């Protein structure tokens, strides 16, 4: 049975950020780091993989653990975390996994005969004399590898540039030979970090982290997280080694810059760092990125949106939606879980996560418990937005709510629109259903559900009829 494509695209109890998507043999494979629900730092888990048929982007299959953190000789005790990886197919047809551990600055490589592994440790990227990349005098620390193989050469993109650190120059590319480990050309810098971007076209959108590379036709797209963290930007070149020119923002995980349904400078979700890349699937292109849940930076979930290229190769910024991989708006009838909210905000604007000050998507239980997510900490003015639905004859809505709240939920089809339904709710420590008439116009619609009143509520789902 073909399932709907949703955001997040994996189950609500799975936390796989930093996605690098690839199509191998008619399936889309997702490689990323692995957060825990309610984790205290980033990337606590082993690498796992999910895949889906290219013609059914809602039918995701768990491929299991493809690489445990203790496989690396530097981490036999498992005390270090596996940061964001990338995968490439080598000249021998095997699959190579590149990654960096959180307390070292060298690039590790693992290899497998199949896309979903298991992968086995191969070695460390090194110079011809055996010195590991990142440990030669003058090397900058390695971080977030992105890889592209063309012929018998592999282009390795790395870097991290925090604010205030003038010792970090920018994103760099290193050329590797056919053994996938030995450096043939030493690192060169291709995009500046914020401490070195003044007066360049990258100023205000300088490189921060998350380098990724894709080729479309004769153009190389370098995707990266910028200095403001919540946006994924791109730069283009006709060579994998540059010169790269700044292109623009592909997606922001607080939807900044989007002005189709709100002012461009108004955030409409709680963002933070971002990491992902673009991929072509069945003739359409998508940007994969992540969102933040549980009011923290450390429980991130993968999302995706369709993107569109202009004739000159530029990319229009994608709006965050609840139906990213579906290919069309969701049906305007049936029950939808609240964790599909693509907008979440209050009357106090914030482009970054803020703990218990704001509403948050969370789950009951512990990490790994297969319990559906919901929106919690809903206080006065908290709004959840869901987009988009193809509505025909919708006349009623039911909300599933619990919590110590004694107010009213308003339902609108525009952020600045009039309330189409007002639904009083009462104190309850179990999920209760509340139904109201909803005269929703036919056509493609958004839904905005806003709480007004005292107390603190949670929203599990809504049903359109």
Q: Could you give the CA distance from residue 113 to residue 366 in angstroms, rounded to a whole number?
A: 34
- Compute the average pLDDT of residues 424-428: 97
User: What are the residues facing 90 on neighbouring strands?
Assistant: none
Distance of CA 319 to the CA centre of its chain: 13
In DSSP notation, 154-166 reads EEEEE----TT-T
Structure tokens that stand for 312 in this block? 């000159």
Residue 139 annotated to the active site: no
Catalytic residue among 14, 18, 20, 71: 18
Q: Residue 23 gets which letter from DSSP?
A: E
Q: Where are the domains of the chain?
A: 20-307, 330-464
C-alpha dist (Å) from residue 56 to 328, 365, 426: 13, 30, 41
Nearby residues of 236 by Cβ (< 8 Å), 6 or more positions away: 219, 220, 221, 222, 244, 245, 247, 313
What is the pLDDT at residue 355?
85
Fold agreement (20-307, 330-464): no
Supply φ then ψ for residue 196, to 5 degrees.
-135, 20
pLDDT digits (tens, 9 = 90+) for 198-250: 999 999 999 999 999 999 999 999 999 999 999 999 999 999 999 999 999 99
Kindly tell me if the per-residue pLDDT of 260 is higher than 90. Answer: yes
Q: Is 455 helix (H, G, I), strand (E, B) or coil?
A: strand
In DSSP notation, 134-185 reads T-STTPPPP-S-EEEEETTEEEEEE----TT-TT--EEEEEEE-TTSSBEEE
Neighbours of 285 (CB within 10 A): 17
Q: Could you give the CA distance from residue 109 to residue 47 in angstroms, rounded to a whole number?
A: 13
Q: Domain 330-464, CATH 2.60.120.260 — does that match?
A: yes
3-class SS shares of the chain: helix, strand, coil, % to 5:
5, 45, 50
| Total count of residues recorded for the chain | 465
- Compute the average pLDDT of residues 354-367: 94
Q: Could you give the CA distance from residue 269 to residue 122 in angstroms, rounded to a whole number?
A: 41
- When pLDDT is cut at 50, 70 and 90, the band that residue 450 belongs to is very high
Share of the chain above pLDDT 90, in %: 99
Nearby residues of 417 by Cβ (< 8 Å), 6 or more positions away: 448
Catalytic residue among 72, 86, 195, 209: 209
What is the pLDDT at residue 138?
95
**Burial status of residue 111 (CB atoms within 10 A of its CB: 0-12, 13-18, 19 or more):** middle
Asked if 273 and 352 touch (Cβ cutoff 8 Å), the reply is no
Q: Could you give the CA distance from residue 206 to residue 196 in angstroms, rounded to a whole number?
A: 8
What is the pLDDT at residue 1?
82
Residue 364 annotated to the active site: no
CATH of domain 20-307: 2.115.10.20
In DSSP notation, 224-239 reads EEETTSSEEEEEEESS
- Compute the average pLDDT of residues 298-326: 98
């Amino acid at each position: 049975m073909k399932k709907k494509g949703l955001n997040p695209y994996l189950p609500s109890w799975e936390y796989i950020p930093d996605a690098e998507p690839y199509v191998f043999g008619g399936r889309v494979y997702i490689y990323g780091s692995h957060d825990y629900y309610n984790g205290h730092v980033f990337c606590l888990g082993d690498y796992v993989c999910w895949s889906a048929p290219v013609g059914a982007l809602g039918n995701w299959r768990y491929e299991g653990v493809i690489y445990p953190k203790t496989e690396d000789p530097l981490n036999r005790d498992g005390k270090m975390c596996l940061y964001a990886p990338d995968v490439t197919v080598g000249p021998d047809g095997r699959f190579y996994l590149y990654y960096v551990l959180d307390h070292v600055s060298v690039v590790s490589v693992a290899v497998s005969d199949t896309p979903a592994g298991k992968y086995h440790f191969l070695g460390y990227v090194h110079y011809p004399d055996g010195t590991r990349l990142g440990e030669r005098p003058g090397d900058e620390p390695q971080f977030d590898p992105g890889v592209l193989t063309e012929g018998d050469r592999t282009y390795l993109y790395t870097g991290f540039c925090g604010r205030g650190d003038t010792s970090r120059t920018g994103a760099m590319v290193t050329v590797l030979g056919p053994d996938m480990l030995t450096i043939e050309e030493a690192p060169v810098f291709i995009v500046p970090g914020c401490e070195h971007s003044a007066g360049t076209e990258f100023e205000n959108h300088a490189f921060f982290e998350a380098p990724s590379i894709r080729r479309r036709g004769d153009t190389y797209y370098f995707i990266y997280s910028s200095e403001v963290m919540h946006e994924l930007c791109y730069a283009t070149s006709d060579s994998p080694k540059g010169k790269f020119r700044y292109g623009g923002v592909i997606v922001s995980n607080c939807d900044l810059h989007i002005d189709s349904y709100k002012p461009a400078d108004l955030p409409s979700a709680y963002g933070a760092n971002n990491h992902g890349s673009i991929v072509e699937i069945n003739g359409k292109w998508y940007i994969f990125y992540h969102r933040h849940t549980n009011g923290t930076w450390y429980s991130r979930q993968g999302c995706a949106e369709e993107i569109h290229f202009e004739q000159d190769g530029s990319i229009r910024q994608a709006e965050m939606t609840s139906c990213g991989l579906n290919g069309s708006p969701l049906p305007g009838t049936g029950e939808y879980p609240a964790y599909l909210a693509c907008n979440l905000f209050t009357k106090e604007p914030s482009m970054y996560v803020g703990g218990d000050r704001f509403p948050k998507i969370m789950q009951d239980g512990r990490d790994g418990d297969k319990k559906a997510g919901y929106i919690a900490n809903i206080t006065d003015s908290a709004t959840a937005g869901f987009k988009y639905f193809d509505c025909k004859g919708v006349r009623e809505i039911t909300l599933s709510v619990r919590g110590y709240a004694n107010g009213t939920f308003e339902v609108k089809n525009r952020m600045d629109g009039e309330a189409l339904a007002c639904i009083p709710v009462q104190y309850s420590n179990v999920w209760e259903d509340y139904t109201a008439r909803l005269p929703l116009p036919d056509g493609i619609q958004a839904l905005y559900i806003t709480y007004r009143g005292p107390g603190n509520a949670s929203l599990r789902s809504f049903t359109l009829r």
